[in-house]
Structure 1
């Protein structure tokens, strides 16, 4: 790091007459960011390796974290200046579900990127209920194909266990969404019982991402929802089959965010802008020229200091394909999106979707007005910071003006491409919740082991 900083200092001095004229006067230049070993941490690795942080006068250390709780605690207590976060983490912390702290995000890190994998044994039983064409399963695969398997296990007195990475993770909500869309109850949370397993057909529990394949292989869980490369790892190890991607559950769904404390953003506004500029440039690089840079990105991510999985495992989902059953590799060009489709813009409606799922499953215990969802979204998601950073990049000739949604009010148009066909309008979260046959709605509340109201 020190050699890198020394070289960067020389470069900055050399270009003082040009680049430094554009450089923000950052209040804090030495920063430490946390991440979990997943391919969607790529914008951080790329911003570091391609020198985008240094271009902004920032000297960054990237540090892998043991799990999502340790990572969040590190940001809250100041050991980390910011981190690659689950989209639900800043929202949950700000409303006081779990650890309470005001966390914001000026930058959404990616779209899509997760999958649901089941063990070979479960897959063999599911296949009986899945239509086939030309000898291959028809995708997307509904959880209705899993339902008779779960019912069989229940009849035999066996609990059906599946893994997700954290209670407020995208993975928890995507797995629950898929299960419920197929007629399976994934369980509720209550203020007294935070297991999330109240009245559940399928019992979901937390497993850190890199441990998912080993936990599946040990038989502790029958399946899991996780980000890459840990679905493809199951294919390479021959221990499981990814049955569906989150792209098929909700096309172009928001995934991770970059999180910092509200206090950090207030104390170091120029530093926050500089970080956001560097991350936008990294996202652009990851997607430009029809993903032409992805092989280089895969090489970076395969290094032990980042994801540390084999190149081929990471490449299996990063360069436009996704392998389901061994040998069944299909084109999924948008499985990992880092910049196109306004992937990096922190939409309020994305925040509202996560909050709606927290309410649906009881993490938000009481009914909330639509205005409450809007208010929380605007406390946490900060498109004002994002667009300020984008404006600077356009002025510097490093980004194209047409690539940013300058005129949006922060809400996407109603989205229809969900596996269950239900339309989501971020402006009307309660109407959205009322459409689900499984899940809390209206004044309903979990009391004891039942839903009331």
Structure 2
């Protein structure tokens, strides 16, 4: 590769939250994949998803590692000023978890069925935390609770807590459980304050995780930079999954003070799919956190974006039915992704829709979003 003139690189400011699934952005910058496409990624560690949202909206960030559901919440003006957004690619799949307190586990509540029995037999004010009202963790937490007959908004309080504060909140008894990304589920186990009740891949196998997001205005004004960002991250994602050694190196980098600033082992174990639920269960997860999968992970499927809208409608966050397909076509910039995929030799799926069967046995394929949103026994919308 020819020597690159650093002064000619286009600086791109990208925000991230200290979570394991920011790995492909971190390694794109650390390993120099960005410079191969004429950009220099400057990463900014953020303290909350609300902060990420506000900085994207104001232009303080060009792009961000961001919750899929948050992007659609802003696109639809849920709890904030409406702003047109752009999902450039999916950064990850799987690798989140619902954690219950050690106190609940000691009383026999270690999974969905036992939690439901416990809450019926010992009624009190239960509190479960997610990371953002319209985000992935809120929607996955609500879905899991409801699948076991627990109304997340009537039988409990739902609280918003930044990911890095989840373990401390659990230790202090402020919450009974939480849904968040790694390494915080593993940290709760390591610190002796929580147990893993369910992984997110058990709720929705191969579910979408965080995305590389920006505003529609930025995507419209600088599509070349957007394609360069996607291409750099595709290369980094491929590199992470190329070997166990690369995953181990990624864990070491992520553990540093500039990124997650936490114990390396808490990151490494679940990054390579080694799970311990804190109550005797240990397994190697075939659907652990993924970053590339020959591009299957990264493609911005329209049906994925539509699912979040169905759940936002289900829980009353959307008062009216949105144009599910139209909104997904506007937000998920498949055109930009295809350009970057061609640049990197990444395979592109034949269809922008995909099918999944979730924990309650219901199939989601995007064909009837309105009917799907209205089909649930437990709902508010």
CA-based RMSD of the aligned residues comes to: 1.9
Match 1:47 to one of 20, 28, 34: 28
Mapped contact 1:425–1:432 kept (Cα < 8 A): no
Mapped contact 2:70–2:132 kept (Cα < 8 A): no
1:281-320 maps to which residues of 2 (within 5 A)? 281-289=235-243, 291-320=244-273
CA shift in 2, pair 1:426/1:367, >3 Å? same
**Partners of 1:31 and 1:13 in 2: how far apart?**
16
Mapped contact 1:153–1:159 kept (Cα < 8 A): no
Q: Secondary structure at the match of 1:270?
A: helix
Residues 1:214 and 2:157 aligned together: no
Mapped contact 1:320–1:332 kept (Cα < 8 A): yes
Match 1:115 to one of 87, 97, 108: 97
Residues 1:240 and 2:184 aligned together: no
Deviations 1:106-133 (A, max 9, x none): 1111101110111111012235xx7xxx
Match 2:332 to one of 363, 381, 389: 381
Match 2:57 to one of 76, 92, 96: 76
Cross-structure match for 2:356 = 415
Cross-structure match for 1:179 = 145
Cross-structure match for 1:11 = 3
CA shift in 2, pair 1:438/1:74, >3 Å? same
Cross-structure match for 2:300 = 346
Provide TM-score, normalisation by structure 2: 0.95
How many positions carry a matched residue from both structures?
378
Deviations 1:201-235 (A, max 9, x none): 02110010000000000000011111000000011
Displacement after TM superposition at 1:32 (Å): 1.2
Where structure 1 has 5 or more consecutive residues not aligned to the other structure, the ranges are 1-7, 15-25, 131-140, 188-199, 446-453
**Partners of 2:14 and 2:48 in 1: how far apart?**
14
Deviations 1:324-383 (A, max 9, x none): 015532111321011117110000000010000000000011234xxx100010111111
Deviations 1:150-179 (A, max 9, x none): 22342xxx3101111110111101110110
Match 1:424 to one of 345, 360, 364: 364
Q: Secondary structure at the match of 2:108?
A: helix
Q: Secondary structure at the match of 1:183?
A: coil
Deviations 1:137-159 (A, max 9, x none): xxxx4x221112222342xxx31
**Partners of 2:213 and 2:321 in 1: how far apart?**
27
Provide TM-score, normalisation by structure 1: 0.80
**Partners of 1:13 and 1:79 in 2: how far apart?**
25
Cross-structure match for 1:393 = 344
Cross-structure match for 2:135 = 169
Cross-structure match for 1:322 = 275
Larger Rg: 1
Cross-structure match for 1:138 = none
Displacement after TM superposition at 1:13 (Å): 5.3
**Partners of 2:341 and 2:11 in 1: how far apart?**
22
Displacement after TM superposition at 1:292 (Å): 4.5
Mapped contact 2:314–2:374 kept (Cα < 8 A): no
